[in-house]
């Protein structure tokens, strides 16, 4: 089987490529990635030597380039990870999110129409459901929860989901969608909560916690997300949405304190800063459907996953030191300088 993985030079896409190469060595993987600030070829260094792996630099919103690639490689499956993924950046500048996340997805869907496909899988997010109140721990997102978005990022992801469903119904594109909770693990870009806090703590820099740190996220180790997508593309039912999450809710403050404890650093490093605009309070996924229908369950407990993740950042300093010494410095100054 030939699989195009878009956005494979980013966090989850790269972990997915390694998962596929290890678990399905006969399959051919073509990574299509624009290499934006979040894409990094060094992340794929270990895949480059594999004869069943190929990297193609390109933009999913570039129709001509996407059609050329489909004509050349004739994919059986497309898994679309490519996206602008950071909520804070979407609040600063929404437009690029619309181009990549919506137009880009529509171009890929048109290519599937034109060239034929066995499966198009859209990697979506629990953020399309909006948020849940902090005082209702009994509520969870199911696949039938209404879409109700808060940020330009989540609105763009919800628009893409609706397009996928429209193409599935109108043009019979064999599509599936997964909506996952917050991932963590190796190759997570330093702008996101967990790597940012690990890296700042290692430098004895302040840890900027938004608001009171009481917002809740449902953390899943990235390999568990990859295993779920792998099951969906091979055994999932066309036209279906699958929620993915590990019942692992933590407040941001709890996550930050856990990281400080693992690193043996003082909680005095924590600094409460101005809250994110429109900040979603709580995400919590009900993963009953994927468990029941595809037998998926998460394998990594948070206490083990977070230790493994901290160890990965300690063992792979060169990977993130290069990132934080470049353009990231300007980003950090702009986002946190006067916060």
* Ramachandran angles phi, psi of 4, nearest 5°: -90, 125
First to last CA, the chain: 49
CB 67 to ligand DAU: min, Å: 28
Residues numbered 6-65 forming contacts with ligand DAU, rule: CB under 6 A: none
The alpha carbon of residue 75 and the mean position of all alpha carbons in its chain are separated, in whole angstroms, by 22
In terms of CB distance, is 127 or 143 closer to ligand DAU?
127
Instruction: Give catalytic status of residue 153 as yes or no.
Output: yes
CB 137 to ligand NAD: min, Å: 21
Residues 37/191, Cβ–Cβ less than 8 Å = no
Told to check if 75 binds ligand NAD by CB under 6 A, we report: no
The β-bridge relationship of strands 77-80 and 2-6 is parallel
Q: Which residues pair with 5 in a beta bridge?
A: 31, 79
Nearest to 313 by CA among 176, 194, 137, 144: 194
Instruction: Give catalytic status of residue 127 as yes or no.
Output: yes
Under 8 Å CB-to-CB from 298, ≥6 apart: which residues? 220, 221, 224, 246, 248
Which residue among 20, 126, 191, 249 is the active-site one?
Answer: 126
In terms of CB distance, is 117 or 180 closer to ligand NAD?
180
Instruction: Give catalytic status of residue 126 as yes or no.
Output: yes
Residues 82/11, Cβ–Cβ less than 8 Å = no
# binding residues, ligand DAU (CB under 6 A): 19
Told to check if 34 binds ligand NAD by CB under 6 A, we report: yes
Which residues are near ligand DAU by CB under 6 A? 85-87, 125-127, 181-182, 192-193, 196, 208-210, 215, 217, 252, 276, 283
The residues annotated with a catalytic role in the active site are 126-127, 153
Name the residues that contact ligand NAD, by CB under 6 A.
Answer: 6-7, 9-13, 33-36, 38-39, 59-61, 81-85, 100, 104, 123, 125, 157, 180, 182-183, 189
């Amino acid at each position: 089987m030939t699989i195009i993985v878009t956005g494979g030079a980013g966090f989850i896409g790269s972990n997915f490529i390694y998962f596929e190469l290890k678990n399905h060595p006969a399959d051919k993987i073509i990574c299509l990635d624009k290499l934006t600030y979040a894409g990094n070829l060094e992340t794929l260094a270990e895949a480059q030597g594999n004869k069943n792996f190929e990297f193609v630099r390109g933009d999913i919103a570039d129709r001509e380039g996407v059609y050329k690639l489909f004509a050349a490689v004739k994919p059986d499956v497309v898994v679309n990870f490519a996206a602008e993924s950071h909520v804070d950046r979407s609040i600063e500048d929404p437009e690029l999110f619309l181009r990549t996340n919506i137009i880009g997805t529509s171009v890929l869907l048109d290519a599937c129409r034109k060239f034929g496909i066995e499966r198009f899988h859209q990697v979506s997010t629990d953020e399309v459901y909006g948020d849940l109140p902090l005082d209702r721990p009994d509520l969870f997102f199911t696949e039938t929860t209404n879409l109700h978005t808060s940020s330009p990022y989540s609105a763009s992801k919800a628009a893409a989901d609706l397009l996928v469903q429209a193409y599935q119904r109108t043009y019979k594109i064999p599509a599936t969608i997964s909506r996952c909770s917050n991932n963590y693990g190796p190759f997570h870009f330093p702008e996101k909560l967990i790597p940012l806090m690990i890296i700042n703590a290692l430098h004895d820099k302040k840890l900027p916690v938004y608001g009171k740190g009481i917002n809740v996220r449902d953390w899943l180790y990235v390999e568990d997300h990859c295993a779920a997508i792998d099951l969906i593309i091979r055994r999932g039912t066309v036209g279906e949405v699958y929620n993915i999450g590990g019942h692992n809710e933590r407040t941001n403050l709890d996550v930050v304190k856990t990281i400080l404890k693992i690193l043996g650093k003082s909680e005095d490093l924590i600094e409460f800063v101005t809250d994110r605009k429109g900040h979603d309070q709580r995400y919590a996924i009900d993963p009953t459907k994927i468990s029941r229908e595809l037998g998926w369950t998460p394998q990594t407990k948070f206490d083990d996953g977070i230790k493994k993740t901290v160890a990965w950042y300690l063992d792979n300093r060169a990977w993130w030191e290069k990132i934080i010494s470049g353009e990231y410095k300007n980003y950090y100054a702009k986002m946190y300088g006067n916060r």
